[in-house]
Amino acid sequence: MIEAMTMTPDHAALKEAVQAVCDQFDDHYWAELDRTHTFPHEFCRAIADGGWLGIAMPTEYGGAGLGVTEAAIMMQTVGASAGVFAACSAIHINIFGLHSIVKHGTDEQKQRWLPGVISGETRACFGVTEPDAGLDTSRIKTRAVRHGDHYVVHGQKIWTSTAQQAQKIVLLARTTPIEQCEKPTDGISLFFADMDPRYVRVTEIPKMGRHAVNSNQTFIDGLVIPVADRIGAEGKGFRYILDSLNPERILNAAEAIGIGRRALAKAAQYAKERVVFNRPIGMNQSIQHPLAECWSELYAAELMTMHAAQLYDAGKPCGAQANAGKYLAADAGFHACDRSIRTHGGMGYAAEYHVERYFREMVATQIAPVSREMILSFIAERELGLPKSY
């Protein structure tokens, strides 16, 4: 864990403290939540009580004021716990999702919103992706029309994780029709709005894994949002969400590395204990070599991820490194989970050993919040000077 960087005493203490919280919730706890599709309220409360939800938030609002490097250490530790991706997804919007408020919100907005989010009293979800737009955010159709001191919003969002528990939504909506804009990315505004059940309907999406944390379609019909709840200037919302993309990539990468490390540790332990033909299967190079490859891939991914985090905290460009870290980590984590199942043989397919749950949750990291193919296109264009392909 975090072998790929020099651990300072503060970093080691951070890791140990987060690990102590995560250790309260074992594989059986998470397996039961996965089976019953139950949200991990107890885990979230323990993380909030430890003060970890505000790790990268300003101190004046109750946060710790630390950087993305420290947040990455935290989220890698959470990913390596029994909760794997479900545990990460239950809390990570607090770590990066509200960065737009920190950077572009007014002092009044920060004072009004951030303390509750940091304490865990307020849960937020992220409303950006839409069924017809996908990754082409400039083509969103959710419309916010201004009427004096408020906006009225109609539209639909998809893959809004934790929307069933959230009281607030970071909502991206078009305030100027696209045909009236100089660029497609203009005319989009960002809001921190109430999840008012009179105007917002949430429907869960059945999915492959991460059943403890819901993913949803969100239907908005006539939601009223005060102008005072708009983040920054009207029409600049697309630019504001870009501020959170690099931290998001870095933290997603850290989570995937943590999950991969947990799966790899389970595989190594099983390989030591499982005896076939009068010898532990871990003596066989057909078991050893794939696991050693996974260790190497995870280590390399961590190097890139932590390098990106350190660049970000130093205020230096890190787009390529953050995206490459996410790409490498998702692939390395997936390989580790796949190999863990194979090492366990038939029992890897059984819920009893938990690695099948890790695998089901890891699959999403190669797809969301950005696909590996989009990352490769970004790097090809920005770093290799190739023409834009989309």
pLDDT in tens, 269-292: 999 999 999 999 999 999 999 999
Q: Say how far apart CA 106 and CA 121 lie, in whole Å.
A: 21
Whether the CB-CB separation of 84 and 358 falls below 8 Å is answered with: yes
| DSSP codes of every residue in 291-311 | HHHHHHHHHHHHHHHHHHHHH
> Does residue 260 have a pLDDT over 80?
yes
What class does CATH assign to 242-384?
mainly alpha
What class does CATH assign to 9-119?
mainly alpha
- Percent of the chain at pLDDT > 70 equals 98
Q: Which fold has domain 124-235?
A: Butyryl-CoA Dehydrogenase, subunit A; domain 2 (2.40.110)
For the chain, give every domain's residue range.
9-119, 124-235, 242-384
> Does residue 30 have a pLDDT over 90?
yes
Helices within 37-83 (DSSP H only): 41-49, 68-79
Residue-wise pLDDT for 139-153, tens only, equals 999 999 999 999 999
Q: Say how far apart CA 178 and CA 34 lie, in whole Å.
A: 41
- 132, burial (CB in 10 Å: exposed 0-12, middle 13-18, buried 19+): exposed
> Does residue 4 have a pLDDT over 90?
no
| Residue pointed to by tokens 């029992």 | 347
What's the confidence (pLDDT) of residue 390? 81
What's the confidence (pLDDT) of residue 243? 84
Pairing of strands 124-127, 168-174: parallel
Q: What are phi and psi of 350, to 5 degrees?
A: -90, 140
What's the confidence (pLDDT) of residue 6? 66
Residue-wise pLDDT for 69-117, tens only, equals 999 999 999 999 999 999 999 998 888 778 899 999 999 999 999 999 9
What's the confidence (pLDDT) of residue 96? 79
Determine the residue type at 49. Answer: D
Q: Say how far apart CA 277 and CA 259 lie, in whole Å.
A: 31
46-60 average pLDDT score: 95
Q: What is the pTM of this model?
A: 0.95
> Does residue 1 have a pLDDT over 70?
no
What's the confidence (pLDDT) of residue 5? 59
Helix, strand, coil fractions of the chain, as percent rounded to 5: 55, 15, 30
Residue-wise pLDDT for 312-345, tens only, equals 999 999 999 999 999 999 999 999 999 999 999 9
pLDDT band at 128 (very low <50, low <70, confident <90, very high): very high
What's the confidence (pLDDT) of residue 7? 80
Q: Which residue has the higher pLDDT, 147 or 242?
A: 147
Q: In terms of Cα–Cα distance, which of 53, 57, 177, 193 is closest to 128?
A: 193
What's the confidence (pLDDT) of residue 2? 47
